[in-house]
Structure formats: structure tokens, C-alpha cells
């Protein structure tokens, strides 16, 4: 097994291939970055991955999300966990940080989008995306170990009843998930890559996938793509935030970064590479591109669409708290089943592991309405109608044991534009703000989602809550932020071309969620992985 490479060499210590420190530098180690690192290493290139978050062993993950130091990413306050919360004027965003990116914190769910995804959006007509991506979806599923969940939990049983009530029982099915089930808690040699990968332990159904799997059962990227990339010689430098990417006079790029050496101690670094993959996720990649577009020595010729066409899965996240004390909602994997409520919409019940109750601090009763006044009136009326149920549900001691989160998603689009924020916003968001783009912004409330939540309330003896930003400000929350560096035929219609290369900047690529150019309407990681597989399949082997 390759030793962790937190101390991977920088350019001064490294053997230089040609005139560059590395053939390729990959910024970010999430889905797009990890696929790129492996496939480029396999093609014979020297690859360095730079990741702002830390490297995690299974035992390092927090036991619950009350352990803010290990769970929350807020480096200004010294919190260097895996979960980043970003509050922008038009959307609140959950995303992942660390070696393995969003895979550390995600809920393992790996669906393939419906046919509309491949036909709509800024990439429409530039390729037969459905046909071209099909083999790459298959590879992505194999690499991520996608398998149907064999263990439905309580939330899944409730969803099955709701599906029957709606006359759509045949559209309710187990999720395909990147989890090793095996024997619970029992370690087994690598079951996926002919013994080349790390060992796994069978899933214990502890429900804690979104606070980091402490059992080694979740197929995070550091156990598949990144692990194999490091075996093939890729370097992964953790705790290193990329601050600039500048073209060099004779071709290639200089990448400036800061490596964290300790609290308030940083080392400035500069690397060069013939080619660069930006894979910092939407928040990382779009922020970097926007900064470089403003910098005359950076990337001033970037497309005017940089930061535009940012979309969510048009999600609603509704917390259902139950007054019942006799059911444990937290048993199972994070997302165990999915119901296709119609051709455009899906709903999944989501769980956290026992003891994880941090989100209680952010919740207010779910109260849809067009204005703050309307929402507050609705909240007051609902509290007055069912005061005892609210009290009993709210004061149940362990939120995760007594609640299910409904994740409703649909393919209908709402757009935002990301831009650089004023100083006030920078403190919290590291520089990003949002503005309205073409069409409506992602909606905070959707009738269908509220109807599903009410059905769950009845069956669970529960009450529905949402994030305070929804109830107070009418702002939606997403864990699936996408776009901002979309595919387009030219720089007027998109930031990158169909081969993921940035228009106007040869050798600079965007391979992550910001390249997703239509709304998949379902959890996007498998799609990001498949798109990355396709993009890297277009790169010729070294020396070819």
C-alpha cells in the first residue's frame, strides 16, 4: 500500500519532466479530480493533485456532527472538517472538502439521469451525449462499486407506503450505492480491483455516511480512483489551496498555492505544468476562474459565461421530526431508496447516524409562502394547530434517531450566476456571491415537495421543518450545486468545449460539477464521474 503523500514533493524537490515540474496539475480531489488523476497517471503522465482539505483515515471522522472541528469546514475559525456550508444571497450550498472531496460527505447514491438531461442545456446538440456517455457511466459504476441497497430502513418503508398511496409503487426502488455490504464490520481484502485496492469492512448500517464512514465500508474516492492513482505515481498534496493559475509565455501554466503548515502558518508555493485540470467543484473552480478573469496576468480572455448557468437539482430538503419514540430512523445507509414521483421528479428519504443533531440549530417549521409575512403566518397557524406534536417531536433527545430528511429533486431548471462578492461576503463564502441569471432562481418551496412532506407527517406522526434560510428569506438549499463553467460551442455560449478544454486556453480543463451543462434532476456524482471518464478518454497517452 502506498503511504499517504501529504508530504508529496513540490517543484524545488521534484525531478522535472521536461521544462515543467509536472505534466499535469489537478486542482481538487473530488469526483472530477480523482478520475483525472487516475486516468492521466495510467497514460504515463506525471500528475500532482492539490487539495485544500486534509487527508482522512476512517478513525479520524467525527462520531457525530456535533464534533465541529472534524465535521465543519470553516478554516477561518480553525474548523477543518469535511462539510462546507456556504450561504449565498439566492442559495445555501452544502459541499465536501478533503482528500476525496464530496465523496467523504456524500450519501453514496449513484443514479443515472433520465434522457432529458442529455438533450437539454448549453451542451445540447454538440454530441450524442447519451450514447457517448453510456460506456463511461458503466465504468463509473464499476469503479465506485455501485450496487442496489439490500437493507431498506424505516424511512424507506414509509416511502413505500407513500408510493402505494400515489399509485406509483412500481416506481419505488432501492438506490444504487457505492457501499461495500459484505459481512457487517468484518474486514475483507479488496473486493473491487482484483486485490489492488485497499481492504473493506462490511457496512454496519450505522447511517453515518454523511459525517464520514468510520468503518471503511463507503467507497470514497481515496479507496478507488485516488488510491489507484497514487499507486501509479500521482502525488496528492493535502492542505494546499490553489490561489492562482496563470498561463506561461511559452505554453503551460503556473499554479500558485498555499500549503498549511499549522495554525496561522502557511507556505507559498508555485508549480508549473504543461496542462491543468480544474476540479475544485463549483465553489472552488468558479471562484478561481472568476478571480483569474479579473487578473490581467491570469485568464482575462475567459468566456463571458464564466459563473453563469449555475443550477441546482431544484431540490427541496425537508426535515421530518417524529413524535414517536419507538422507531429508530437512523438504522440503514444514508439513502436507501428512491421514488420517481413523475417523469421529472424524484424523492429520497435521507438519514444521519445516531447523535448527529447539529442541523437542529438551523431548523424552523416548514412554511411555504411567497413573502416573509405569509410564511410566518403559516408557521404560527401550524404551530397553533398541532402544538403538542411540535413539542414532543422537537424535544426528542436524538434528532437523527427521530427524524428523516426528504430530499426532493426535479429536472425543471432554475438558474443563478456566481460572481465575486464584496468584502462582507468574502469572510463567510471566500469570495463568492450570487445573482439572478436567465429564468427563475431555484425555488425554495415546491408544492409537490410539501405534499410529500405532509404525507410523511401523517404516516410518521411527524412535523416538517426546513432550514431557517428557507423560512425567513425564501432561499433554497442544495447539496447538488452544478454548472458555472458549462460546455458550449464557443466562448459566447459556454466556458469549455465538448472536450472540457477552456475556450481560449489550450491545456486548461474543467472536469467537475461546474462542467455539468444541464440539470440531471438526480444526485449528480455518477454523472460527474462519467463525464470525467469521457473527458480523460479523449486525452492521448503520453508520447502518442
Ligand X SMILES: Cc1cc2nc3c(=O)[nH]c(=O)nc-3n(C[C@H](O)[C@H](O)[C@H](O)COP(=O)(O)OP(=O)(O)OC[C@H]3O[C@@H](n4cnc5c(N)ncnc54)[C@H](O)[C@@H]3O)c2cc1C
Which of 33, 207, 355, 474 touches ligand SF4 by CB under 6 A?
207
> Should residue 108 be labelled a site residue for ligand X when binding is judged by CB under 6 A?
yes
We find the least distance from the C-beta atom of residue 330 to ligand SF4, in angstroms, to be 9
* Helix intervals (H) in 330-486: 372-385, 387-394, 423-429, 447-460, 468-473
Residue in 114, 112, 177 with CA at minimum distance from that of residue 144 = 177
> Should residue 32 be labelled a site residue for ligand X when binding is judged by CB under 6 A?
yes
> Should residue 106 be labelled a site residue for ligand X when binding is judged by CB under 6 A?
yes
We find the least distance from the C-beta atom of residue 509 to ligand X, in angstroms, to be 13
Nearer to ligand SF4, 215 or 241 (CB): 215
> Should residue 147 be labelled a site residue for ligand SF4 when binding is judged by CB under 6 A?
no
Rounded to whole angstroms, how far apart are CA atoms 173 and 336? 9
Nearer to ligand SF4, 309 or 400 (CB): 400
Rounded to whole angstroms, how far apart are CA atoms 407 and 312? 13
Piece of 31-39, 200-208, 223-231, 467-475 that binds ligand SF4 (CB under 6 A): 200-208
Whose cell is 404525507? That residue is 455
> Should residue 95 be labelled a site residue for ligand X when binding is judged by CB under 6 A?
yes
To the nearest 10°, report the CA torsion of 440, 432, 517, 123.
100
Piece of 202-210, 258-266, 271-279, 414-422 that binds ligand SF4 (CB under 6 A): 202-210
Q: Which of residues 326-355 bind ligand SF4 (CB under 6 A)?
A: 333
> How do strand 403-410 and strand 316-322 relate by DSSP bridges?
antiparallel
> Should residue 349 be labelled a site residue for ligand X when binding is judged by CB under 6 A?
no
Q: Which of residues 191-210 bind ligand X (CB under 6 A)?
A: 210
We find the least distance from the C-beta atom of residue 206 to ligand SF4, in angstroms, to be 4
Give the one entry of ligand X, ligand SF4, none that residue 475 binds, where binding means its C-beta sits below a cut-off of 5 to 8 angstroms depending on kind. none
Q: Could you tell me if 240 and 52 are in contact, meaning their C-beta atoms sit under 8 angstroms apart?
A: yes
Q: Could you tell me if 499 and 310 are in contact, meaning their C-beta atoms sit under 8 angstroms apart?
A: no
CA atoms within 13 A on the CB side of 542: 16
* Helix intervals (H) in 359-467: 372-385, 387-394, 423-429, 447-460
Rounded to whole angstroms, how far apart are CA atoms 191 and 331? 24
CB burial of residue 291 (10 Å; 0-12, 13-18, 19+): middle
Piece of 277-285, 291-299, 363-371, 456-464 that binds ligand X (CB under 6 A): 277-285
> Should residue 493 be labelled a site residue for ligand SF4 when binding is judged by CB under 6 A?
no
Phi/psi for 329 (5° steps) reads -75, -15
Piece of 93-101, 128-136, 306-314, 443-451 that binds ligand X (CB under 6 A): 93-101
> Should residue 316 be labelled a site residue for ligand X when binding is judged by CB under 6 A?
no
> Should residue 346 be labelled a site residue for ligand X when binding is judged by CB under 6 A?
no
Which of 97, 105, 162, 205 touches ligand SF4 by CB under 6 A?
205
> Should residue 218 be labelled a site residue for ligand SF4 when binding is judged by CB under 6 A?
yes
DSSP annotation of 212: -
DSSP 85-142: EEE-SSEEEEEE-STTGGGGTS--B-PPPPTHHHHSSTTTTSS-HHHHHHHHHHHHHH
> Should residue 102 be labelled a site residue for ligand X when binding is judged by CB under 6 A?
yes
Cα 181 → chain centroid = 23
We find the least distance from the C-beta atom of residue 185 to ligand SF4, in angstroms, to be 8
Q: Which residues, at least 6 apart from 259, have a Cβ–Cβ distance to it below 8 Å? A: 10, 237, 239, 240, 266, 267, 269
CA atoms within 13 A on the CB side of 280: 24
> Should residue 203 be labelled a site residue for ligand SF4 when binding is judged by CB under 6 A?
yes
* Helix intervals (H) in 193-280: 225-231
Rounded to whole angstroms, how far apart are CA atoms 524 and 101? 14
Of 366, 480, 500, 503, which residue is the catalytic one? 480
Residue in 150, 173, 470 with CA at minimum distance from that of residue 341 = 173
Give the one entry of ligand SF4, ligand X, none that residue 450 binds, where binding means its C-beta sits below a cut-off of 5 to 8 angstroms depending on kind. none
Active site residue 171: no
Bridge partners, residue 241, by sequence: 258
> Should residue 215 be labelled a site residue for ligand SF4 when binding is judged by CB under 6 A?
yes
Which of 10, 81, 96, 155 touches ligand X by CB under 6 A?
96
Rounded to whole angstroms, how far apart are CA atoms 43 and 312? 34
> Should residue 178 be labelled a site residue for ligand SF4 when binding is judged by CB under 6 A?
no
Which of 27, 159, 213, 463 touches ligand SF4 by CB under 6 A?
213
> Should residue 235 be labelled a site residue for ligand X when binding is judged by CB under 6 A?
no
Piece of 22-30, 183-191, 368-376, 390-398 that binds ligand X (CB under 6 A): 22-30
> Should residue 204 be labelled a site residue for ligand SF4 when binding is judged by CB under 6 A?
yes
> Should residue 208 be labelled a site residue for ligand SF4 when binding is judged by CB under 6 A?
yes
Give the one entry of ligand SF4, ligand X, none that residue 179 binds, where binding means its C-beta sits below a cut-off of 5 to 8 angstroms depending on kind. ligand SF4
Give the one entry of ligand SF4, ligand X, none that residue 279 binds, where binding means its C-beta sits below a cut-off of 5 to 8 angstroms depending on kind. ligand X
Rounded to whole angstroms, how far apart are CA atoms 206 and 214? 10
We find the least distance from the C-beta atom of residue 431 to ligand X, in angstroms, to be 10
Which of 38, 288, 338, 433 touches ligand X by CB under 6 A?
288
Which residues make up the interface to ligand SF4 (CB under 6 A)? 179, 203-209, 213, 215, 217-218, 333
Which residues make up the interface to ligand X (CB under 6 A)? 27-32, 50-53, 94-98, 101-102, 105-109, 210, 241-242, 279-281, 284, 288, 335, 479-480, 512-513, 523-526, 528
> What is the set of active-site residues?
480
Amino acid at each position: 500500500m502506498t503511504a499517504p503523500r501529504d508530504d508529496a514533493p513540490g517543484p524545488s524537490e521534484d525531478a522535472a519532466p521536461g521544462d515543467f515540474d509536472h505534466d499535469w496539475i489537478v486542482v481538487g480531489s473530488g469526483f472530477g479530480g480523482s478520475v483525472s488523476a487516475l486516468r492521466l497517471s495510467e497514460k504515463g503522465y506525471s500528475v500532482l493533485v492539490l487539495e485544500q482539505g486534509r487527508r482522512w483515515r476512517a478513525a479520524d471522522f467525527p462520531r457525530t456532527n456535533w464534533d465541529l472541528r472534524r465535521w465543519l469546514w470553516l478554516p477561518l475559525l480553525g474548523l477543518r472538517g469535511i462539510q462546507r456550508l456556504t450561504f449565498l444571497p439566492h442559495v445555501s450550498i452544502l459541499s465536501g472538502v478533503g482528500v476525496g472531496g464530496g465523496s467523504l460527505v456524500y450519501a453514496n447514491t449513484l443514479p443515472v439521469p433520465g434522457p432529458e438531461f442529455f438533450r437539454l442545456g448549453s451542451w445540447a446538440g454538440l454530441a450524442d451525449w447519451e450514447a457517448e456517455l453510456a460506456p463511461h457511466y458503466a465504468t463509473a459504476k464499476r469503479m465506485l462499486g455501485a450496487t442496489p441497497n439490500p437493507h431498506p430502513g424505516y424511512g424507506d418503508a414509509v416511502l413505500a407506503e407513500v408510493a402505494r398511496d400515489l399509485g406509483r409503487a412500481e416506481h419505488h426502488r432501492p438506490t444504487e450505492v457505492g457501499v461495500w455490504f459484505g459481512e457487517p464490520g468484518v474486514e475483507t481484502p479488496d473486493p473491487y480491483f482484483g486485490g489492488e485496492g485497499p481492504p473493506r469492512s462490511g457496512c454496519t448500517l450505522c447511517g453515518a455516511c454523511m459525517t464520514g464512514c468510520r468503518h471503511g465500508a463507503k467507497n470514497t474516492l481515496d479507496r478507488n480512483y485516488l488510491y489507484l492513482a497514487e499507486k501509479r505515481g500521482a502525488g496528492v498534496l493535502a492542505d494546499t489551496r490553489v490561489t492562482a493559475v496563470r498561463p506561461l509565455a511559452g505554453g503551460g501554466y503556473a499554479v500558485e498555492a498555499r500549503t498549511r503548515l499549522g495554525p496561522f502558518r502557511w507556505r507559498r508555493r508555485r508549480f508549473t505544468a504543461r496542462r491543468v485540470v480544474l476540479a475544485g467543484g463549483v465553489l472552488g473552480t468558479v471562484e478561481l476562474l472568476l478571480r483569474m478573469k479579473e487578473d490581467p496576468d491570469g485568464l482575462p480572455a475567459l468566456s463571458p459565461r464564466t459563473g453563469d448557468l449555475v443550477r441546482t437539482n431544484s431540490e427541496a430538503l425537508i426535515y421530518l421530526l417524529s413524535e414517536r419514540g419507538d422507531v429508530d430512523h437512523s438504522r440503514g445507509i444514508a439513502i436507501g431508496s428512491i421514488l420517481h414521483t413523475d417523469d421529472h421528479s424524484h424523492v429520497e428519504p435521507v438519514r444521519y447516524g445516531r447523535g448527529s443533531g447539529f442541523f437542529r440549530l438551523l431548523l424552523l417549521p416548514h412554511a411555504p409562502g411567497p413573502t416573509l409575512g405569509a410564511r410566518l403566518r403559516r408557521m404560527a397557524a401550524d404551530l397553533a394547530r398541532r402544538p403538542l406534536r411540535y413539542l414532543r417531536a422537537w424535544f426528542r433527545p436524538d434528532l437523527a434517531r427521530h427524524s428523516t430528511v426528504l430530499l426532493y429533486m426535479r429536472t425543471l431548471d432554475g438558474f443563478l450566476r456566481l460572481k465575486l462578492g464584496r468584502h462582507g461576503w468574502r469572510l463567510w463564502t471566500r469570495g463568492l456571491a450570487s445573482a439572478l441569471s436567465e429564468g427563475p432562481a431555484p425555488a425554495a418551496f415546491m408544492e409537490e415537495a410539501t405534499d410529500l412532506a405532509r404525507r410523511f407527517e401523517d404516516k410518521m406522526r411527524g412535523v416538517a421543518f426546513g432550514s431557517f434560510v428557507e423560512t425567513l428569506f425564501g432561499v433554497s438549499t442544495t447539496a447538488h450545486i452544478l454548472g458555472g463553467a458549462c460546455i458550449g460551442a464557443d466562448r459566447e455560449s459556454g466556458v469549455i468545449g465538448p472536450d472540457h478544454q477552456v475556450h481560449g486556453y489550450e491545456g486548461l480543463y474543467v472536469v467537475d460539477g461546474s462542467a455539468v451543462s444541464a440539470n440531471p434532476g438526480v444526485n449528480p456524482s455518477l454523472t460527474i464521474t462519467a463525464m470525467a471518464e469521457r473527458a480523460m478518454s479523449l486525452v492521448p497517452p503520453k508520447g502518442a
